[in-house]
Structure 1
Amino acid sequence: MNFTDEDMSQENSRRLRALFEMATDGIITMSSDGFIENVNQAACDLFGYAAGEMQGQKVNMLMAQYDRTHHDGYLKRYHETGDPHIIGIGRDVIGRRKDGHEFPLRLAVSEVKLDERTIYTGILHDVSAFRKAKEEVEKLNADLENKVKERTAALRQREVELKLALGKERELNELKSRFLSMASHEFKTPLSTVLSSAELIELYVEPEQQPKRERHINRIKDAVNQLTEVLDDFLSLSQLEQGRVICKPKLIDVRALISTSVESSEGQFKEGQEVILELADEPRTLMTDPKLLRHVLINLISNAAKYSSPGMPVTIRSAGTKDYCSITILDQGIGIPEEDQPHLFDRFFRARNVENVKGTGLGLNIVNHYVSLMGGRIEFTSKLGEGSSFTVHLPQDNSVL
C-alpha cells in the first residue's frame, strides 16, 4: 500500500493528537491574544472543566487573582518589547480550579510560530504533592533542628549543673578543711587547758595553795565556756541550714533589750573597757524577735570588745525613722583588712589579722542570717588599725513575716 503525502500528514496528526491526549501533564494551547484553543484531558482533570468550557475562553480564567488581572499586561508587554515574563521560562504559579480552589503549578510556556500566526503552548504540572512533601520535609527538618537545639540546651544545662555541682563540692571540701582546722584549734586548746589545770589542782593540797586552785578552776570554767560557745555556734548553723529557725516577732523595749545584751557580753570585756550608750528617744519599742535580736547584739558587742585593746570603749547607738530602727555598735579596735571585707559573712571565714584570737568564723555568718530572718539588713564600715562599725537596720513592724 502506497501512502500519499496527505495520508502521512493525517497519520502524523493522529499520532500527535494521541500524544497530546495521553500526556500526564496538562497541555493548553492558546492564541497570541490569550484565548484557549486546545486542551488535553489531563488539563481538564487538573482544572475540573470540560474541554468545551475552556476552549474559546481567556486563559486567565485558570489563574489566581493576581495573575488573572495582570495576564493581558504580560502579553502586551511581550508583544511590544519581546521581553518574556513567562515564555521560555519555567516558573511556579498558582492555578484556580472550577470550584475556586487554588493550587500550586509548575508552568512552562513555549512560543510556536506557524506560517500564518503565532500560538503559545503551556505545559502544566500539579506540584501540590511535591509542595506538601517539601513542607513535611521542612517541618521534619525544623523539628529535628529544634530537637537538636533542645538536646544541645539540655547538654549545656547539664554542663552548667555539673560545674555548679563541682563548684559546690569544692566549696564543701574547702568548708570541711576550714572546719577541721578550726575545730582542731577551738577544741584542742580549751581541752588542753582543762586537762593541765585539773592535773595542777591535784598538786595544790595545802590550804595556803587555795588561790592557786581557784585560778585553775577559773581557767577550767573559761575553757568550758569557750567550748560551749563553739558548740552553740555549730548548733545555730545546723538549725539555720535545716530551716528550723523561725522569726517570732513580739513587741519589745529597745533600750531594755540593748541593756540585757550588754550584760550578757560582759564576759568578753577586757580590763578598762566600758560601753558608751548613745540611744535615741525613739523608737522606744520595736516589733521583732527578741531572741534573735539579742543573739545578734551579743555577738556584735562581744566582737567589738574582743578585737579592741584593754581600755578601749565600745559605743552603742540607736536611731529610728517611721519605717526602720537602727542599732550601731562601734569599736576602736584592730579593724578589718580591706581585702578580707567582701568575705566577712562567709562561713568559717576569719580575717588574717585575727588568727591568734579565738573564734569559729561562724558568728557573723549566723548574725547575717538572723538579721535577714527579721526582715532587716546589716552593713559595716571598717579601717585597719582604727576600728569597725556594724549597723543593724530592722523594720519597725515585721509581724507580717
Structure 2
Amino acid sequence: MPSDSDTGGQAAKLRAILESALDAIITIDSQGIITTANPAAEALFGYAAEEFIGRNIRFLMPDPYRTEHDRYIANYLNTGQRRIIGIGREVSGLKRDGTVFPMHLAVSEFEIAGVRYFTGIIHDLTQSKATERALREAQKMEALGQLTGGIAHDFNNLLTVILGNIEMLESRLSDREQRDLAKEALEAAEAGARLTSRLLAFARRSHLEPEPVNLNQFVLSLTDILHRTLGETIQLSTVLDPSLWPVKVDPSQVESAIVNLAVNARDAMPKGGRLVLETSNARLDADAIAGLQDLPAGDYVRLSVTDTGHGMPQEVRERAFEPFFTTKETGRGTGLGLSMVYGLAKQSGGHATIYSEIDNGTSVNLYLPRSDGGMGTAAGALDDQGAFMGAGERILVVEDDERVRRLTVERLRRLNYRVLDAADAKAALHIIANEPAIDLVFSDLVMPGKMDGRDLARAIATRYPQIRVLLTSGYSEDVVRAAELRATRILRKPYRQTELAEAIAKALI
C-alpha cells in the first residue's frame, strides 16, 4: 500500500504535468461535472479555474454538442459504445466571449474509489485550420493563375492581330472620320490588353518588366477610372511633386497597386470621405530607415494613399500585408490586395508601410528606389510613326498562329527588315541550318510540339551563339521566369508597331 508521502508525490507530479501542459486538460465525473481544469484550459476558454469547477461541461460546447453531450455519456455508461472515449475526434468549443473554435478532443477514463471520471485533452485547431484554408486559397489562386494564363495567351494573340491590322489600316486612311474610328478601335484593343494584364496581376502570374517611369503620370492617368470606381461619395484629390524623381518599376503592377489601395480605402469609408494620392521625393538617412525593415539608406520616391476612413486597430495593422489576411466578409476580399502591393515594393527594392488610427483614417506608403532614368536607346532611323527602322537585317519569325505570323512578317518588312518565317521550333532550326546569315530569331514563347520558344532559345544559344533571340508572349509568369531566359529579351503581347520596332532594334544591338 503506498504511503502518504508516495501519494503526495504522485499528486505533486500530476499537478506539475497539468500546469505545464500546452493543451487544455479537463476532468469530469460521470454526470459531466467538471472536477479539474488546468491553466491551459483557462487560457483557451477564457474562464478562471474556479469558474470551471462544479459546472457541467456543456457550457464549453456550442450546439449540437451541448444538447447531446449528456446523452453521449449515458449511452456509453449503459452500452459501452464509444463515440469519443479512447478514439478522439474533431469537434467545436465555445469560448467565454462567444467564439466558436475547432478543436481535437481525446477522452480517457479512470476510476477512483469506485467513481468513474473522464479526462479530456483539448488541442486548439484554430491555427492549423487557418493554415489549411490559406493553403486551399493558395491552390485556388494557383489554379486560377494557370487558367488565366492560358486564356491570356490566346486572348493576347487575338489582340495582337487586331492591333496590328488596325495600325496598318490606319496608316492608309486619309479620311479624318475613318482615322478617328480606327483610333477608337485601337484604344479599345489596348483597353483589352490592360484588362488581361490586370487579371494576371490579380492572379499573381504577371511577369515583371521594370522600366523607368514617373509616378505622377500613372496617378493622373488613373484618376478618371478611379472617379468611376470610387463613386460620388468619395472625394478624390492629388498632391503631386512636380520635380518627382523617376523610379524603375513594372508599369502594370504600379497601376494595379494604386487601384488596389484606392479600392481598399473606399471600402474603409462606407459613408463617404476623402482619398488623397500623394507623391514626393524622400531622401532617407540611417535614422529615417530605422523602422523600415531591410531598406538601405538612399533616395526614394514615396507614393502615399491616404483616406479618412474608420482606420485599423493595431492587431489588424500588424497583419495587413500578410497574404490571405482580410477583415472583409467571406466573398468580398481575397486578402491578396495589400500583400501584392507589399510584394511589388519589396521586389522593386523598396518598402511599404501602413500608418492608421481608429476613426482617423489610414495612410499606406510605398517607398520605391530612385532611378537614374536611363533606358538605353536603339540606334537607327525612325519612320513617320516614330518607329525604329531596320537596315536590311535578316529576321526569322517563329509563330504557330498563322494570322499572327502573317501579320508579324508584314510588320517587320515595313520596318525594312528581310524576313523568313517558320511555324514551329523544328522548322526554325532547319531554316537556320540552311540560312546561316540570320541576325535575329523572333519567336513566340508558347508553341505546340516538343520544343517551345524557351527550348528554341536554348538551342540557338548553344549552336548559333552569334544569332540574337527575341521572344514574345502573352502568357503568364510561371513560364517566362525560367532562369535560362533571364538574358533573353521578352516582348509582351499585344504590342504596338512602335513597341515591336524598338524591341527588335534593341535586340539587334
- Indicate the TM-score class for this superposition, using the shorter chain for normalisation: 0.3 to 0.5
* Higher helix residue share: 1
TM-score by length of 1: 0.39
Larger Rg computed on CA atoms: 1
TM-score by length of 2: 0.32
